[in-house]
Amino acid sequence: MRQKLFLFAIILLAVSCKKTTSVYQVHEVDCINKAEVTVKGVPVDAKLPLDIRDIAVCDSFLIVTGHDDEARLTVYSSDWKYLDRFCFIGRARNEFLYDPSMVSGQILRDADGNALIPLVDGLESVKVMDLQQSLKTGKTTISTESHYKPYKEAVIIDEFGTKTLKNDIEFVFIDNDTRHQFEWCRPMTMNGTIQIDPYYAIMNDTTVIKRVDTYSLFDEEQFKFILGDLYKHPSRNLIIFPLSLIDYILVFDLDKDKISAIHQQGLLSFDDELPRVDFSTTHFGRAVCTESFFMVLYYARDINKPELMFFDWDGKFLQSVKLDTKVYRIAFDERSRILYGVDSENDRIISYDLSFMNI
C-alpha cells in the first residue's frame, strides 16, 4: 500500500512539474505542406535602388527602402514608374543619421486620411514621413518626430568597470498614433545573471499603461525560441508575432486583453521538452496584415521555395501557396492582388499574381 501511495505521489509531482502554456489559448491547426500550387514570380522591371531593404504598398504607391545615392526611400506608382526619392542622409530635421527602417510596413493616417510612414532612425528616434506632402513638395516632409527608443538598457558594474548593454525590443504603433506603442522585450542574460527581465507593455511614449511580466507565459528555456517580428492589423489593436524558431504564431488582442496562439498540430510545442535551439532552420518569416486576414511566410520545409500561409483573425487556417523564389520582405497590393517580395540575394523585387486565390 505504501509503495502504491509513493508511486502515486511521484506521478502527481511529475504532472505538476510539467511545463504548460494554459495561460493562453492555443489553436491547433494543420497548415504546413498544404500548398497545392506553386506561384511563379516575375522580377519587377524598374530601376530599383541598391541593397534593397524593405517594401510596402500604400494606396496607389509602392515604397522601397534601399540605397539610391544619398537617398534611402524611393516611391513608385502602382505600375512601377519612378516618382521621387526621399530620406537623405544628414543632420537636418528631415534627414537621417542612419539608414531608416520601416516599422513592419506600418502605414498610419492623419485626420485627413493622408499616409504617414514611421521610420526608425538608428534606434535613436522615429521620424514620421508625410507621403503626400513629400510628393507634392519634392522634399522629405517629417510631420512628427518621436524620441521613443526601441531598446532597453542595463548598466553592468564589474571588475573591468562600468558598461551599458542595449537590448533591442520588438514594437509596433497602436491606435494609429506614434505616441502609443506595443512593445515586446526578451530577457537579457550576462554571466548567467538576468540583467533585463522579459515583458510586454502598452506604452504612451515613455509612460507605461500596462506591463506584463512574460515569465507568466514562458520560462527561460522557452524564451530561447521566441524570436520574430510584430505585425499589426490595419485598423484594430490586433497584433501577430510569428516565431522564427518554432511553429507558433502568437496573437495579442489588446482591446479584449486576450492572448492566443496558432500552432501546427503534432509538431514540437512549448509543452514538450525543448531541444537545443537550431538557429539554422527558420520557421515563420515576414507577414502582411489586411482587414480580413493575414499572410505569413514559412521556410522550414524548403527555404528556397517558401510557403505563403493565410489565416483569418480568429486563428483559422485558410489556404496556402508555394512561391518559386526565396524572398524575405513582402508587401501585398490588395487592389491588384499582387504580392511583392524582396529577393535579397539577387537584390531584386519579385511580383506574384495572387488574383486566382479565393481570399
Mapping DSSP onto H, E and C, the string for the chain reads CHHHHHHHHHHHHHHHHCCCCCCCEEEEECCCCCCCCEECCEECCCCCCEEEEEEEEECCEEEEEEEECCEEEEEEECCCCEEEEEEEECCCCCCECCCEEECCCCCEECCCCCEEEEEEECCCEEEEEEHHHHHHHCCCCEEEEECCCCEEEEEEEECCEEEEEEEECEEEEECCEEEEEEEEECCEEECCEEEECCEEEEEECCEEEEEEEHHHCCCHHHHCCCCECCEECCCCCEEEEEECCCCEEEEEECCCCEEEEEEECCCCCCCCCCCCCCCCCCCEEEEEECCCEEEEEECCCCCCCCEEEEEECCCCEEEEEEECCCCCCEEEECCCCEEEEEEHHHCEEEEEECCCCCC
Pick 306 or 186 by higher pLDDT.
306
pLDDT at res. 153: 82
pLDDT at res. 290: 97
Domain presence at residue 87: yes
pLDDT tens track for 134-161: 999 999 999 999 878 888 887 777 667 7
pLDDT at res. 251: 97
Instruction: Taking residues 341-351, report their average pLDDT.
Output: 96
pLDDT at res. 132: 97
pLDDT tens track for 267-322: 999 999 999 999 999 999 999 999 999 999 999 999 999 999 999 999 999 999 99
- Rounded to two decimals, what is the model's pTM? 0.91
- Categorize the per-residue pLDDT at 5 as very low, low, confident or very high, splitting at 50, 70 and 90: very low
- Categorize the per-residue pLDDT at 4 as very low, low, confident or very high, splitting at 50, 70 and 90: very low
pLDDT at res. 155: 76
Biggest CA pair distance of the chain: 87
pLDDT at res. 182: 96
Domain presence at residue 19: no
Domain presence at residue 188: yes
- Categorize the per-residue pLDDT at 188 as very low, low, confident or very high, splitting at 50, 70 and 90: confident
- Categorize the per-residue pLDDT at 11 as very low, low, confident or very high, splitting at 50, 70 and 90: very low
The CA–CA distances, whole Å, from 42 to 281, 325, 351 equal 27, 10, 5
Instruction: Taking residues 84-105, report their average pLDDT.
Output: 95
Domain presence at residue 329: yes
Residue 21 pLDDT > 80, yes or no?
A: no
Domain presence at residue 1: no
Residue 89 pLDDT > 50, yes or no?
A: yes
Q: How many domains does the chain have?
A: 1
pLDDT tens track for 215-233: 889 998 899 999 999 999 9
pLDDT tens track for 78-88: 999 999 999 99
Residue 118 pLDDT > 90, yes or no?
A: yes
Residues 6+ apart with CB under 8 A from 151: 123, 166, 167, 168, 169
Distance CA 267, CA 262 (A): 12
pLDDT at res. 2: 45
Residue 203 pLDDT > 70, yes or no?
A: yes
Domain presence at residue 17: no
Q: Of 138, 146, 262, whose CA–CA distance to 206 is shortest?
A: 146
Domain presence at residue 233: yes
- Categorize the per-residue pLDDT at 99 as very low, low, confident or very high, splitting at 50, 70 and 90: very high
Domain presence at residue 7: no
Mean of pLDDT over the chain: 90
| CATH value at residue 36 | 2.120.10.30
Domain, as residue range, for 85: 26-353
Instruction: Taking residues 52-74, report their average pLDDT.
Output: 94
Pick 21 or 50 by higher pLDDT.
50
- Categorize the per-residue pLDDT at 38 as very low, low, confident or very high, splitting at 50, 70 and 90: very high
Instruction: Taking residues 179-207, report their average pLDDT.
Output: 86
- Categorize the per-residue pLDDT at 31 as very low, low, confident or very high, splitting at 50, 70 and 90: very high
pLDDT at res. 146: 83
- Categorize the per-residue pLDDT at 186 as very low, low, confident or very high, splitting at 50, 70 and 90: confident
